[in-house]
Chain A
Amino acid sequence: MGRRGGGSGSAATMPGAERGSELSEQIEAFAARLRRGGERPRSEDTARQTLSLLRKIVGNGRWSRAGELMDLIRTEGQRMTAAQPSETTVGNMVRRVLKVIREEYGRLHGRSEESDQQESLHKLLTSGGLSEDFRTPYPSLRANVIEAINEMLIELEGTTDNIAMQALEHIHSNEVIMTIGYSRTVEAFLKEAARKRKFQVIVAECAPFCQGHEMAVRLSKENIETTVMSDAAIFAVMSRVNKVIIGTKTILANGALIAVSGTHTLALAAKHHSTPLIVCAPMFKLSPQFPNEEDSFHKFVSPQEVLPFTEGEILAKINVHCPVFDYVPPELITLFISNIGGNAPSYIYRLMSELYHPDDYEL
């Protein structure tokens, strides 16, 4: 970044250089914020921040061809995802933008959207993998891509509402719903249902962070009959539960979840009692990664919550772990509710191919 700014020495380009280094500072600050974790950012906010940063890169970056822009986005994207691999949203947004660039380029290049969408087996065979080289410069590309990113930002605004709107189809009167931890999407979902129906919610507290407490407080403020219980009681209570509705951090390519720890227990109990398990998750949480790729989905935080540092002598002799996430295999999940409707885990692959270009799965 700095080199680019320094290269263009003339006074006229100074503002651009200034903006360039400012942008790089912003990206750095964003990466640092992700790295430090801090106060559990909402995935939606992360997605929005990523998108607006990418928009700035598209707007202010020095590129003339689509290929250059994609390389630029890819390198910056790698930097941002490396900062906190467990925040898959960042990578997802980068892939979405890459896909947008491909589409916009294709449109300018004179290819119909249809042909891009439905690559037939025949076409795959005949084209011989000769994909576009993104070399042709189009002056309107910049504006088009920014426009498309703006649309995505607007789409982001409505995701939670879109999911909540479907609540009445899934929650019926006098049902007993179980959930775990605190998810804003689930909160909105339940609140929406509570406007028309009366039902009971059981919240597993989700130790050691106990976000479940916050969830219960928020729900009971809306006059929903809420019970908090310890995670150990999940199995015992499950027989009374009609539906399990949970949020998640990430949906993986195979339809599995990376969700707050304790979710696996809950999902197994639900399976044992044949209770349907519904996952509320906006589409931007859908990640084209598979669970066996390295160990990057793990997030182990300070053991402070499990065994406080003040314990003293014992700490030198023991190992304490405090994982944040659970892996929930796809066969335990009944239904995904996203902002574009309800889908079974087996359908995830299709959504994936609609959202991302196969070449971008690996950043």
Chain B
Amino acid sequence: MAARGTARRGAGGGSARGPDPQEEPPPPLQAVLVADSFNRRFFPISKDRPRALLPMANVAMIDYTLEFLTATGVEETFVFCCWKSAEIKEHLQKSKWCRHTSPNTVRFVTSDLYRSLGDVLRDVDAKSLVRSDFILVTGDVVSNFNISKALEEHKLRRKMEKNVSVMTLIFKESSPGHHARCKEDDIVIAMDSATNRVLHYQRTQGLKRFRFPMSLFQNSIENVEVRHDLLDCHISICSPQVAELFTDNFDYQTRDDFVRGLLVNEEVLGNQIHMHVATEEYGAHICNLLMYEAVCSDIIRRWVYPLTPEMNFTDDKNQSYTHSKHNIYRGVDVSLGHGSVLEENVLIGQGTVIGSNCSITNSVIGQNCRIGDKVTLDGAVLWDRVHIADNVEIHHSVICDEAEVKEKVKLKPRCVLSSQVVVGPGITLSEGTVISLHPPDEEEEDDDQFSDDSGVNKESKVKLKGYNKKDVGSEGRGYLWKADDKNEEDEEEQRQSLWGPAMHSEEESESDSDLSMGSEEPDSRAASPQLDDIKVFQNEVLGTLQRGEEENISCDNLVLELNSLKYAYNISLKEMMQVLSKVILEFPLQQLDANLDSQNYFSALLPLLKNWTPLFKNYIKRASDHLNALYAIEEFFLEHDSLCTSIAKVLMTFYQLEILEEDVILNWFSLRDTSDKGKQLRKNQRLQKFIQWLEEAEEESSDGDQD
């Protein structure tokens, strides 16, 4: 209600200024915040809490994102929620963003039907929410970036060349090996250094060699920069066209799809993507726990200033901290026992009690935690109301709300205890252990993870099954998700997916294969699938032609179909040419009989060639195309010795149908660097006769040009 009131007043103010058309105020800056990741990277943690609400240095991630948007001057934010939308809504309504004094009006758009970023943007378009350029972010971005400069550049570009540039991607400069650089998000970008235009965009995950299309360096751009020192902040400035393009291309799921699609079809659609590199400001996107840890420590180390804990930018009374040297942040009513040492980079939330002789370093501790005596915390992230008993050791692990760790438990690095789990006493959790109250196998049971009610009916199931005491200790509660053992590859994958570095979730690998099309030639490892691609493509072409023959489809439509196939398999024109020639020449063999003699073969082929002349003409335009077609024909006849004799006739037909030109045929014939077989083929009498005839014909037409 309050938000609506503000908006109305804002609108009223606008109309009051309305009469003066010259000084019409620019439309308010809008933002689309996608508070859902559309993947399960944070499972099982995100089963209890949506990713946007995970506390990052005791403040929910979405608050950082909203603060970033507000600080940068956004006046209206659309928050799109899907998974656990009610919780996100509740959180935001309690926060300062929904107070009427907030300069940034937050509106919610909730739907359980969103399955990807693409769905969200299509909805933005359908509801026509945005009026001008808007900022697109996900709910897990932490940044202190001031977008105004990039926005100005973006607007200027759009003014200079009407609607050509549709998107500006924001990157942060950071060299490879940086701890806040997540390997799965690594990218290689080729850009035009004069205009900052993105020419090529490729994710590097899993690739050892990168290939760039030659066309990058061949066109008129003077300086092309290839950069690998960029961190993708997942912040982009979009024009309203972006939403429309998502609607037009219903297969775009992610922003990557969009960027790739736009770059591939740049010549067709005429849209361009630009980029902006931030050098001083901070910006990071939390995509896995490794990043979560890295960004947490960056916040504590004040890289994200002014979004530091003691600034209390959420204006929440429970979040006031004092900052003292060595980056120790203390909330209100924190008690620290005798002999306990806070070494450095420690954040302690309000009402937490720490026992004596503890040693705490590089850790984040939430509100109202109870920590016993002689506890060692190193790089631990504790959420709210966590209980830690005496003599516990925790290294680089995440412990969620209300979890309990009993006496003498030792957590090796990269352990995760999700909420309300109890472990111990007296056990050691090996590296990478994940324990949750949700049994892991239930994941397969219900597919509809994104629906809100999935959490409810599980409680009963949980109670039915006993906890494995070996995993969680004699008083423990919770199921082991991933142990460190590598017996099952799936599980290993899952564990890494939580923490990050070299993961291959389904989605990722899918996008990988898409990627290889983005670049003209994938790396050597992907070479074999590329060959397969051609094979598959060839079959598809054959199928299309057969259908065309049977259903008598017009050549124009066939060309359309072949073109779409060509794009679908990312086939170059040259390959297209070869495949087409080969398929058509093989067609009679496929149709009739594999052991056709040359006479019958030709009589079967002739009507086909006549029928499909427009097809060839569509693809064979330049001299090099002619030559390629000839090579394909030659290759075919080399493979089919028995049909050798009909080559002259075939060539003759091509010539008569004006598909191939005589110069090129002559050229091809006189080529020397051919194989022995090729030479033999050229010795074919009929062929020689044909060539002779051609030469004579040419001599007749153009006097004395020969020799």
Q: Which A residues have a C-beta under 8 Å from some C-beta of B? A: 1-2, 18, 21, 24-25, 28-29, 32, 35-37, 82, 294-296, 298, 300-304, 308-313, 315-316, 319-322
User: CB within 8 A of B306: which of A1, A28, A37, A315?
Assistant: A37
**B94 shortest CB reach to chain A, Å:** 15
**B168 shortest CB reach to chain A, Å:** 21
A-side contacts of B322, CB under 8 Å: 294-296
User: CB within 8 A of B303: which of A21, A29, A302, A312?
Assistant: A302
B179 touches A316 (CB 8 A): yes
Which of B70, B305, B312, B344 has the most chain A CB atoms inside 10 A of its CB?
B305
B-side contacts of A302, CB under 8 Å: 144, 282, 302-305
B-side contacts of A18, CB under 8 Å: 9
Q: How far is the CA of A24 from the CA of B99 in the complex (A)?
A: 11
Q: How far is the CA of A63 from the CA of B266 in the complex (A)?
A: 64
A-side contacts of B444, CB under 8 Å: none
B101 touches A303 (CB 8 A): no
Measured CB to CB, the nearest residue on chain A to B313 is A35
Q: How far is the CA of A24 from the CA of B96 in the complex (A)?
A: 13
Q: C-beta contact mask, B201-233 vs A, less than 8 Å → 1, else 0?
A: 000000000000000000000000000010000
Measured CB to CB, the nearest residue on chain A to B320 is A82
Interface of A is mostly: helix
B311 touches A35 (CB 8 A): yes
Interface size of B in residues (CB-CB distance below 8 Å): 42
Measured CB to CB, the nearest residue on chain A to B362 is A319
A310 touches B229 (CB 8 A): yes
**B501 shortest CB reach to chain A, Å:** 14
A-side contacts of B102, CB under 8 Å: 28
Residue B270 CB within 8 A of the other chain = no
Interface of B is mostly: loop
**B233 shortest CB reach to chain A, Å:** 12
Which of B71, B172, B177, B301 has the most chain A CB atoms inside 10 A of its CB?
B301
**B480 shortest CB reach to chain A, Å:** 30
A-side contacts of B430, CB under 8 Å: none
B-side contacts of A315, CB under 8 Å: 178-179
**A303 shortest CB reach to chain B, Å:** 7
Given A21-B100, A35-B313, A310-B174, decide whether A319 and B179 contact each other with a Cβ distance below 8 A.
Answer: no
Q: C-beta contact mask, B84-102 vs A, less than 8 Å → 1, else 0?
A: 0000000000000000111
Q: How far is the CA of A299 from the CA of B96 in the complex (A)?
A: 24
A309 touches B311 (CB 8 A): no
Residue B448 CB within 8 A of the other chain = no
**B297 shortest CB reach to chain A, Å:** 8
Q: How far is the CA of A163 from the CA of B176 in the complex (A)?
A: 52
Q: Can you list 18 A-B pairs with a CB-CB distance of less than 8 A? A: A18-B9, A24-B101, A28-B102, A32-B71, A35-B306, A36-B306, A295-B324, A298-B325, A300-B323, A301-B305, A304-B280, A309-B173, A309-B282, A311-B175, A313-B177, A316-B179, A319-B344, A319-B345
Residue B110 CB within 8 A of the other chain = no
A300 touches B173 (CB 8 A): no
Q: How far is the CA of A1 from the CA of B101 in the complex (A)?
A: 10
Residue B2 CB within 8 A of the other chain = yes
A-side contacts of B101, CB under 8 Å: 1, 21, 24-25, 28
A295 touches B323 (CB 8 A): yes
A303 touches B345 (CB 8 A): no
Q: How far is the CA of A82 from the CA of B310 in the complex (A)?
A: 10
B174 touches A301 (CB 8 A): no
The B223-260 residues at the A interface (CB cut-off 8 A) are 229
A300 touches B174 (CB 8 A): no
B-side contacts of A37, CB under 8 Å: 305-306
A-side contacts of B308, CB under 8 Å: 300
**A92 shortest CB reach to chain B, Å:** 21
B103 touches A29 (CB 8 A): yes
B100 touches A312 (CB 8 A): no
Q: How far is the CA of A296 from the CA of B322 in the complex (A)?
A: 8
A313 touches B178 (CB 8 A): yes
B71 touches A303 (CB 8 A): no
A312 touches B313 (CB 8 A): no
**A299 shortest CB reach to chain B, Å:** 9
Residue B163 CB within 8 A of the other chain = no
Q: How far is the CA of A1 from the CA of B100 in the complex (A)?
A: 10
B-side contacts of A32, CB under 8 Å: 70-71, 103
Given A2-B100, A29-B103, A294-B322, decide whether A300 and B302 contact each other with a Cβ distance below 8 A.
Answer: yes
Q: How far is the CA of A82 from the CA of B317 in the complex (A)?
A: 12
**A1 shortest CB reach to chain B, Å:** 7
**B101 shortest CB reach to chain A, Å:** 4
Q: C-beta contact mask, B339-363 vs A, less than 8 Å → 1, else 0?
A: 0000011000000000000000000
Closest 3 CB pairs of A and B: A316-B179, A312-B175, A302-B305
Q: How far is the CA of A300 from the CA of B304 in the complex (A)?
A: 11
B-side contacts of A298, CB under 8 Å: 323-325
Q: C-beta contact mask, B138-158 vs A, less than 8 Å → 1, else 0?
A: 000000100000000000000
Residue B420 CB within 8 A of the other chain = no
Given A25-B101, A28-B101, decide whether A312 and B301 contact each other with a Cβ distance below 8 A.
Answer: no
Q: How far is the CA of A322 from the CA of B345 in the complex (A)?
A: 14
